[in-house]
Amino acid sequence: MKRGVNGIASSGGRLGRPVTRDDVARRAGVSSAVVSYVLNNGPRPVAESTRQRVLEAVSELNYRPNAAARAFRLQRTSSFGLLVPDISNPFFAELAKAVQDSALSHGYAVVFTDTENDPAREADQIRFLANRQVDGALMIGQTPSADLSPFTDARVPLVTFDRFEGDRDVPTVVIDDYVAAHEGVEHLRSHGHTRIAYLGGPADLPAARARRRAWMDVVAPLGVSVDDLAVEGEFSRAGGYRAAKELLTRNTGSTALFVSTDTQSVGALRALGEAGMRVPEDLAMLSFDGTQEAEFSSPPLSVIRQPLETMAATAVGLLLNGDARSDGIHRVVPHQLLLRASCGHHNDSGSDLPR
C-alpha cells in the first residue's frame, strides 16, 4: 500500500473504498466546492492551474461521480424514455435510432421500452418510465386508450409521434398523413391508373384511417367501385402478405397498389411474386414510410418518406425547450415523394428520383 498526496492511502492511485468528492478535494488541496465547480463547469470560475490539479486527482483516484445523487440534487437524470410499439418493425426501429442520435447529441441517454402493441404492457412501461423520473418521454404509435396519468402525476413532459383523438391535447410531431397519402395515390392516378387497390392498416389507428380516406378521395371520383379494392392488415410483413393474398383472390383487375406501410409492402411483394405477378409490369406499387427496406427491396419501392431525423430532432427539441409541457403544441413536418422502379413509367437505377 502506497501513501498518496496529502496522506490519502491509495493502491495504484485508487482507494480501497468508493472515492468521494472530498477525497478528490484533499488530493488536489482544494475545497469540495472547487471540485464541484470543475466537474460541473461552474457556477464559479476556477483558475486553470487549479482545474488541472483537480482533474489529475480525479484521474489518479479513478473518481466517478454518483449519478443517482447528482440526479437527485439537480432534479434531472439526463435521460429520456421512449416507448416503441414493435421494435422489430423497421420504421419504428429507424425512428427510435433517430431519437437516440438526437438525444445523445444533447448529452441525454434514451431508455427504450417495447410495448408489443399490448395495452397492458404499454401501461406497465408508462408507469416504469414515470417512476424512473426520466426528464421527458416520447411515444411512437400509442394505443388510443393509453393512460398517460403516470407521466402527468410525475410531471414528466411527453411528446408523441401520432395524434391523440378525443379531448387529450398532447404535444405531437407528425406528418400530414392525409396530404401525403393523397399525393402518393394521385401520382399513381397520373400514370393512367384508375383501378388503384389499397392495402391499409388497422382501422382503429388515426394514421391508417387518414391514409385510407386520402386513397378513397382520389379513387372514388374515377367511377370505380371501391368496395373490393381495399383490404386491411397488421402493420407487419406477415400482415401485408396475408392482406395481399386476400386481395389477389378478389380478381379486382387492379393495375396499381398503394400500401400503407413499407413493412406491409415487403410482405405484399412476396405474395405477388408467388402469384407470378411482376412489379411494376403487372402491378405498379407505391408505399408509405420510406425506410431502408423499401429502398433495398426488389424492385426498389416508390415511397412517401417520413423525415425521421427531422421528426426526432423536433420532438427532442420540444422536450429540451420546455414546450412539451404546453398543451396544443403540434409540429407538422414535410413529407417527401421519392420515385423508384416500383411505380414504373421511368428509368431507374435504384436511387431516389425527383418528382
Q: What is the pLDDT of residue 10?
A: 37
Give the residues of the chain that fall short of pLDDT 50.
1-14, 68, 71-74, 346-355
* Residues with Cβ within 8 Å of residue 228, at least 6 apart in sequence: 250, 252
pLDDT in tens, 18-60: 788 889 999 999 998 888 888 777 678 889 899 899 999 988 8
| pTM tops 0.85 | no
Give CA separation, 115 vs 86, 112, 129, in Å.
Answer: 7, 10, 12
Domains of the chain, with CATH numbers? 2-65 (1.10.260.40), 78-175+309-332 (3.40.50.2300), 177-305 (3.40.50.2300)
Which residue's entry shows cell 421512449? 82
Nearest to 258 by CA among 205, 161, 183, 341: 183
